[in-house]
Each structure stands twice: as C-alpha cells, then as structure tokens.
Structure 1
C-alpha cells in the first residue's frame, strides 16, 4: 500500500478521524541521552495544524506528560498521554489515572534503591509514576538490568516491561497504549491511525486489529529501524523508514 492511498480515508474523513503517534523512535529519533530527545524538525508544528482539522491528534508515550509538554505546550490542541496512560492532557485539561497517585512515593524509593544497589553503569530515569532502567550506553549490562528489575518488581508490587535497550517499572495498573487508544477511538467514528516502533506499542496495534475486525477503518504504521522487533513489522499496514519518514507522513496528512 502506498502512502497516498493509505492516507486518503483520513483526508476524506478528517473531522471524524483519530491519528495517534508514539514519541521516541516514531516522532523523535532514539538518542543515548533521553533528555536530549526531540521531535523531527517541523513535526510539532505540523501536528498542531492537523489538530485544528482532524477529530483528534494524539501523542501516546511512555514519557512523562511534563516532558511531552516541552514540545506541545498549550494551546496546541494535541492530546498528550504520558506514562502509558497514567498522565494525560486532553481538551486542555490535565489528569492523572485515578489510582496512580499512591505510587509516586514507591517510585521515588525504588529509584533511590536502584542508584545505591542497582548494576553499576545502569542509567536510571525517574518519571514520577514510572522508572526506566537504561543499558543503552552499556549494552553488556542487559542481563543484569533485566534481572535486577524483575527482582525489585516482585516485593514492591511493580510490573517490569521490556523496552528498547531498557526495562520499565510501572505500577500494577491495567493501563497501556492499547487501553488509551481504545478510549480515544471511542470518541470518534472515523478511521484510526497509530504509528509506533516498540514492544510497548503492541497493545495499540492489537486494538487496531480489534477495530478492523469490527469494520472500522484503521492504519497500522510501523516505524522501521535496527531495533524494531520483527513481530512488530508483521503488523504493519504501512512500514516507514524511521522518524524522518514519519515526519513526511505527518506533512502528507496535512496536504
């Protein structure tokens, strides 16, 4: 399927359409320093323009909401969902998941423990309601980081999720990119697009499958790259080559 044909239903039914994107590896290139990640040039402004025409434009990410708002400050019109659904800003209103607040102290405690007793060389990113344990700068630590995350998850009640060159620790709340996309899609009647590149995006692609089976128009965009799992490529209606190609797709949606 070519890009123009794939995007035509979204242009035709823009007012009822939902278009949603992962951030890292999709809108923004993967970088060694998570704080240095930034969307491709022009993408943030292009998504804001789309938000004025489409039913809804969303960024659904494992990043904290505060980080996403660096690039999409109000009044951008772009829905932002952070920490896999634990934080959100939609229609100008900010909200945390109703059962998430009690876990902030636990996360801070676990981050402190990781600094003191975790594998030496592991990078620790505390996100308020989640923690990412990175081994991108020290790939030889992969086994140690995974083992440490699984070891600490049990007694603290947290859940460990694999990610690109990292492990994420989350509260035991049944919330992910799939539940988020399902809720957002329920607010619209038109076609649904989701673009992602990582294991954390799989639940969203599963929701696209369910919507497709129910007769809804969908477009699964997988952003290819050296770290993209082969099983994720198999889910693609449209396979694009990295964040630069996603930027082109965003611009094409607006034409």
Structure 2
C-alpha cells in the first residue's frame, strides 16, 4: 500500500474517521478478481468473501460496480452468498452491473435490467467485416446482453491488435449511436447515458453516505474516480484506490492510494476494517 502524496495519507485518516458513514465501491476484474485470459474464469479472490463480510459490518454500505453483466458477477463472485452473510450483520451488498445499467441488492435479490440498446444488433451484424478489415478476425467477441466486448488478450500480439481495432470500432459504434469503452485488451461497445460515475453517485445518494471510497484498475473506472473527486470537492471525505498493474496505469495519478492487484486491495480493506473498528472502541 503506497500513498501517492501526503494529501493521500490525510484523506485516508479522514476517511477512517468517517468510516461508519461510508460507502465503498469496488470494481470486479483486476480489483476483486485477478485478470485472466478467459473472463468467464475470472473468479473472485478466495479471501475476498470473508474480507468483504468483515468490512461490511463497519461501514454504511458496500457495492461491486462492474462492467460485467450482473448475473455473471454474482456467479463468479459468489456474491449472493456474500450478500447473505452481509445481511446477517444488518448491512446490505449492492451490485451495479454493466456500468450501472443493471441493479441487484442482497435484500431485493433480483436483477433489474433495461432492454438492449437500439443499434446494438446492427453493430453486431457489421462487426465481422470490421474485424477482418483490421486483421483481427480471430478476436473473441463476448455477448454481454446490453453490450458486446471485443477481446484481444488471446491473440498473438494483443497490444497491436487492440491498437488496430480501436479506431474502426469507435467509428462503427458512433455510427449506431453507441459508445466505446476501452479496457485492458478489451474494447466494449454499449449504450450511452450510463457509466460507473453515475452508479457511484446513485449509491451515495441512496445510502445517504457521509464518506465514499472507490477502488478500480482500468479505464472504465475513470468516471467513478471523477465522480468521487467531485464529491471530495464538495467536502465529503473520500478515498481513491488504484489496483495497479503493468498493463494499465491511467488511474495512478488520480489515486490517493496505490496497491498491487486484488491481493493488495484485500490487504487495504483489512487495514480499513481494523482502523475503523479501532476508532469506534
């Protein structure tokens, strides 16, 4: 765990002081689950469930905010079981799937989801031609229901394929009124109007939070970081945590704390739990 500046250390201390009124938002891939070649095998870190349940008892709310479909995150994370255990502490686990387009909570226990966006089916029809033109016909396309994600991680040169695909996919998405979300060897195309920043704002408003933390690892988390920074400017105690990797460093300059992957995130959450608990005794 490394503070990016003396101000980051001060923000950590202020967040701990407000800990019992805090909500904590966590990305899934690269934050709670290690990045793997096959995203359908990206299971939550084996220690995460116990750490989350322990932390939930000390804060006002806990949420997973992910680009994954909610059903997929629930299954890979075992989050329904985690939510049951958190419920035993009198608290609630929230899940925002597909950047906030889908909602689930451990009390309501059903996924609320909109219809797929207009234009997505036509985008998918034209996608194979775009992949062939970019010499990326063997890229893996993941159907996420409300979005499609083009993965280059399994290709011979993932970085070069990603760079070739980004401009034509951005143009194709724009043609059909969709937005493009680049990530770690993945390019996702989805409907406009929702992002992790809006999901964080919704969470803070619904819980009535007196402090907020967000931990993420990739470009899709930038809007969440910006939303938290805005709340900090309004006087709310905040903490921004980057789960750093050699593949992506965009969040480092925006962060108060830098940790190394899911294990580092869990170490930070353990420390937060202990510090908040100690302050209340």
Normalised to the residue count of structure 2, the TM-score between the two structures is 0.79
Q: Size of the alignment, in residue pairs?
A: 250
Deviation per CA, 1:40-71, whole angstroms, max 9, x where unpaired?
12102321332243210011000110011112
For 2:236, the equivalent position in structure 1 comes to: 216
Structure 1 unaligned blocks of 5 or more: none
For residue 166 of structure 1, the aligned residue among 183, 186, 203 is: 186
Q: 2: CA distance between counterparts of 1:50 and 1:106?
A: 41
1:143 pairs with 153, 163, 167, which one?
Answer: 163
How far residue 164 of structure 1 moved from its aligned partner, in angstroms, is 1.1
Deviations 1:177-213 (A, max 9, x none): 1111112122334221100111111111111211111
Confirm or deny: 8 A CA contact 1:108 1:126 kept in the other structure: no
Alignment of 1:6-155 (within 5 A): 8-70=13-75, 71=77, 72-73=79-80, 74-75=83-84, 76=86, 77-90=92-105, 92-93=107-108, 94-96=110-112, 100-103=114-117, 106-107=119-120, 110-111=123-124, 113-114=126-127, 118=131, 119-138=136-155, 139=158, 140-155=160-175
Paired residues of 2:242 and 2:252 also in contact (CA < 8 A): yes
- 1:10, distance to aligned residue in structure 2 (A): 4.8
Mean Cα deviation higher: 162-171 or 113-122:
113-122
Q: Is the 8 A contact 1:195 1:223 kept in 2?
A: yes
TM-score, normalised with respect to structure 1: 0.87
Aligned with 1:58: secondary structure? strand
Matches of 1:57 and 1:208, distance apart in 2: 15
Task: Name the larger-Rg structure.
Answer: 2
Q: Secondary structure at the match of 2:170?
A: helix
Q: Report the CA distance shift for 1:53/1:28 in structure 2 as closer, same or farther (over 3 A).
A: same
Using the TM superposition, give the Cα deviation of residue 92 of structure 1 relative to its aligned residue in structure 2, in angstroms: 2.4
- List per-residue Cα deviations over 1:131-174 (Å, max 9, x = no partner): 111111121322342244224313322111211111110112x1
Cα offsets for 1:3-27 (capped at 9, x unmatched):
9976555554443111111111111
Partners of 1:120 and 1:55 lie apart in 2 by: 47
Higher relative CO (Cα under 8 Å, sequence separation at least 6) belongs to 2
Q: Which runs of 5+ in 2 are unaligned?
A: 87-91, 275-281
Instruction: Give SS of 1:180's match.
Output: helix
Distance 2:223 2:62 in 1: 19
User: How much does 1:226 deviate?
Assistant: 0.5
SS of residue matched to 1:68: helix
